[in-house]
Amino acid sequence: MPTGPIEPIEPTTPTLPQPITPIPSTTRPTAVEEAARVLATGQLQELDLQAVRQQVKNSKKKRGGRAQLQRGAELEAQKLAAKEARRQSQATNRARKQLKRAEIEARKQERLRKKSLAQLTQSDLPIPPELEDPITDPEADSRSEYESASEGGHGSAWEWE
C-alpha cells in the first residue's frame, strides 16, 4: 500500500464523445421541421387510405354484373307473376267490397224512402218528386247490364236502330 499522503481526486464532469466527423448544425432538423415531416407523412397515409377505400368501393360496385342479373330468372318471373296476380285479386276484392257497401247503402236508402212514403200517404200529404222514384240496387243494375249483354247482343246500347 502506498504510504504517502493521498491526493484528492478532482471531480470531473462527464463529457460526451465527440463525433468523428462533425455534423454541421444546418443538417439537423429543428422541431418545426420534424413536425412538418410528421404531418406530411400523416397526410400521405390518409391519401393512401382514401385510395384503398375507393378501390374497395369500386370493387364492390363491379360485383353485380350481368351474369348476376340472369341467375334465377325463372324464379324472378314466377315471383313477379305471383305478385301481379296478388295485386289483381286484391283490386278485385276491393271492388267487390265497395259494390257491396253501395248495395247496403242503397237498400237502406230504399227502406227509408218507403217508410217516408208510407208516413206521407197515411197523413194525406203531397209526395215530393224525389220520393216517387225508387232507389235501385247497384248490384241489380250491374246484373241486368250483364244479362242484356250476354243475350247475343240484343238490348245493347251500341245496337243500330
State pLDDT tens for residues 21-37: 655 555 676 888 888 88
Pick out the chain residues at pLDDT < 50.
156-161
Residue 42 counted as domain residue: no
Residues in the chain, overall count: 161
Residue 11 counted as domain residue: no
* CB distance 153 to 159 below 8 Å: yes
What are the cell numbers at 128? Answer: 215530393
Residue 34 counted as domain residue: no
Residue 39 counted as domain residue: no
The secondary element (H helix, E strand) that includes residue 121 is helix 73-122
Residue 80 counted as domain residue: yes
Q: For position 159, what pLDDT does the model report? A: 47
Burial class (CB in 10 A: 0-12, 13-18, 19+), 74: exposed
Residue 10 counted as domain residue: no
Domain that holds residue 111: 73-147
Q: What's the number of domains the chain is made of?
A: 1
Q: For position 142, what pLDDT does the model report? A: 64
